[in-house]
Amino acid sequence: MRVLDEQYIETPFYGIDKMTEWLRRQGHYVNHKRVRRLMRQMGLEAVYPRRKRGLSIPDKQHKIYSYLLRDVQIDRADQVWSADITYIRMYRGWLYLVAVMDWFSRYVLAWEVSVTLEADFCVSALEQALSFGKPDIFNTDQGSQFTSIDFTRVLLDADIQISMDGKGRVFDNIFSERLWRTVKVEEVYLRDYQTVVEARYNLGRYFKLYNNQRLHQALGYRTPAEVYGVAVGTPVALRAPSVPTALTHCDESTLKIPVFCLDNG
């Protein structure tokens, strides 16, 4: 699974046939059925473009909201946030990671991990992020975690517009896809997490670096924190998940300074 996961990052356009052949060339004698089963289990699907299915399974009983971001120019922080889930391999087994990100600044506002795909860890990450501010629009895919009543109720109660990717449109949430590639190449693939605690700790350290030290070419070689405008307090994304925040009841004006816009939008 580790080899398959790493190769998917390098060649996300490989389908079952090409991935099977590549694995055989590396000395792994697998058949198409095994590769198909492992990719589905890991939530991986070739980008054609089509949305990966494994971690984004819809629930037909849940309401699906329209995609609101077509032709919308993102030109300020807190205009659009998004959430997405990815697979994180461990030495034995795997975890699921969800992150909430501000699109304009690429700032990771909150994250959580879980050993299951229940909606609870997504709701937890959302609530942590909302203690830090709120967007005009919140975008997700149509996965059952995000269409669940528990998740959408939090957004509706906060008077936030809900946007959901079109079915099969992998590029509607492209910023999250780029985030996952970065996290895996720069953190996950460099380690073999032995335990959930170890994974939480190292992911926390990485998101701290990602937000506050890592320079982004698309941001004019600034950090997400500089663009988002964090001034005072410990951002949610820098804490270990599920730790109560001391910022929840603070004056929001102490948390952020005015945010500038990028020249290239």
Q: How confident is the model at residue 238 (pLDDT cuts 50, 70, 90)?
A: very low
**Confidence at residue 108, expressed as pLDDT on a 0 to 100 scale:** 97
Instruction: Kindly report, residue by residue over 252-265, the tens digit of the pLDDT.
Output: 333 343 333 333 33
CATH class of the region 80-254:
alpha beta
Q: Is the pLDDT of residue 30 over 60?
A: yes
Instruction: Kindly report, residue by residue over 117-153, the tens digit of the pLDDT.
Output: 999 999 999 999 999 899 999 999 999 999 999 999 9
**Do 162 and 65 touch, CB atoms closer than 8 A?**
yes
| Residue 57, SS3 per DSSP | coil
Q: DSSP H helical segments within the chain, as ranges? A: 2-10, 16-25, 32-42, 120-130, 144-147, 149-157, 174-186, 196-212, 224-228
Bridge partners, 102 (sequence order) = 81
pTM reported for the whole predicted model: 0.69
Q: Which of 204, 151, 173 is nearest to 82 (CA)?
A: 173
Judged by average pLDDT, the poorest of 67-76, 87-96, 244-253 is 244-253
**Do 26 and 3 touch, CB atoms closer than 8 A?**
yes
Per-residue burial over 219-257, b = 16 or more CB atoms within 10 Å of its CB, e = otherwise: beebbbbbbbbbeeeebbbbbebeeebebeeeeeeebbe
Which has more confidence, 123 or 191? 123
Which has more confidence, 244 or 238? 238
**Confidence at residue 121, expressed as pLDDT on a 0 to 100 scale:** 97
Residue ranges covered by each domain of the chain: 2-42, 80-254
Report the alpha-carbon angle 257-260-265, nearest 5: 145
Rounded-to-integer distance, Cα 81 and Cα 10, Å: 27
Q: How confident is the model at residue 171 (pLDDT cuts 50, 70, 90)?
A: low
**Confidence at residue 228, expressed as pLDDT on a 0 to 100 scale:** 94
89 burial (CB, 10 Å; 0-12 / 13-18 / 19+) is: buried
Other beta carbons within 10 Å of 78: 21
Using DSSP bridges, classify how beta strands 108-114 and 161-164 pair: parallel, antiparallel or unpaired.
unpaired
**Confidence at residue 236, expressed as pLDDT on a 0 to 100 scale:** 41
Q: Is the pLDDT of residue 244 over 50?
A: no
What values do phi and psi take at 58, rounded to 5? -75, 160
Using DSSP bridges, classify how beta strands 137-140 and 80-89 pair: parallel, antiparallel or unpaired.
parallel
